[in-house]
């Protein structure tokens, strides 16, 4: 049985004052029946890990370098994130792919580094509005999966997040049938590549304008094991509603 996961991506948001939201979240969900993960900016990661130690909230990173160390000014390695308290790392988010020109092979290299460090890689895939309207969604997702997901992947070190680019932060959400089609496709591709055992054990998250008001119906869709949440994860009150919805599935 795949354990459900509510993951929050704070992106480039949050200063020290935002850590109080973690206190509120941990107090609201002292023993959650689902996994809860918050990925704050790197400047807050160590303090967030200390703040949530012994609670039902884990913390993760938003990106890493593929190398374990070296002359890479401004970058952070997977080992450094682990040392700061991270248990997982988001990789290949559309904002990284678009803003920094990351290609599938870059994401795969980073994912290998994350897995080598003993962390979970949350690999993001998703299509643009133009690709969706051209009926190329599954081809795009399949290509991203083939290029970005390492051969060493297992249900313990890999999580796949489907985030249609056109739905991120826009308030637009695919229909439940559209979400289900992509998640079923991802599951089938994983099973074909890694075998049924591994393929069925990898958790699949949906991300893109998930809110307390629409979370329950999204979590009822086939092969949706949780969510990767952006803006609604910044406030404990909002994210708590999403956790409640996931726990009720």
**Which residue stretches of 195-211 are H helix?**
196-201
Q: Can 50 be counted among the known catalytic residues? A: no
Residue 136: how many other CB atoms lie within 10 Å: 14
Q: Which two tokens stand for residue 13?
A: 């948001």
Q: Which two tokens stand for residue 117?
A: 């460090």
* 39 secondary structure, DSSP code: E
Q: Can 163 be counted among the known catalytic residues? A: yes
List phi, psi (to 5°) of 13.
-140, 140
Alpha-carbon distance of 15 to 115, in angstroms, equals 29
Residues, the chain: 249
- State the catalytic residue, choosing from 21, 79, 95, 163: 163
List phi, psi (to 5°) of 53.
-60, 130
- State the catalytic residue, choosing from 21, 29, 65, 93: 93
- Residues recognised as catalytic: 93, 163
């Amino acid at each position: 049985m795949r354990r459900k996961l509510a993951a929050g991506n704070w992106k480039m948001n949050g200063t020290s004052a935002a850590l109080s939201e973690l206190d509120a979240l941990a107090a609201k969900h002292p023993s959650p029946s689902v996994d809860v993960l918050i990925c704050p900016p790197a400047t807050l990661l160590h303090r967030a890990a200390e703040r949530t130690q012994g609670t039902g909230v884990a913390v993760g990173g938003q990106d890493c370098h593929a190398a374990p160390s070296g002359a890479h000014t401004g970058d952070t390695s997977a080992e450094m994130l682990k040392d700061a308290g991270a248990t997982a790392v988001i990789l290949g988010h559309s904002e990284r792919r678009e803003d920094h020109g990351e290609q599938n092979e870059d994401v795969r290299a980073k994912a290998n580094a994350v897995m080598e460090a003993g962390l979970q890689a949350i690999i993001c895939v998703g299509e643009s509005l133009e690709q969706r309207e051209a009926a190329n969604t599954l081809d795009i997702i399949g290509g991203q999966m083939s290029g970005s997901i390492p051969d060493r992947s297992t249900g313990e070190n890999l999580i796949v997040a489907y985030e249609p680019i056109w739905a991120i932060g826009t308030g637009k959400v695919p229909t439940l049938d559209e979400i289900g089609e992509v998640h079923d496709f991802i599951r089938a591709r994983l099973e074909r590549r890694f075998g049924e055992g591994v393929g069925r054990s990898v958790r699949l998250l949906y991300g893109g304008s998930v809110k307390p008001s629409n979370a329950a119906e999204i979590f009822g869709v086939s092969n949706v094991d949780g969510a990767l949440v952006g803006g609604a994860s910044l406030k404990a009150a909002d994210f708590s509603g999403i956790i409640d919805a996931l726990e009720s599935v």
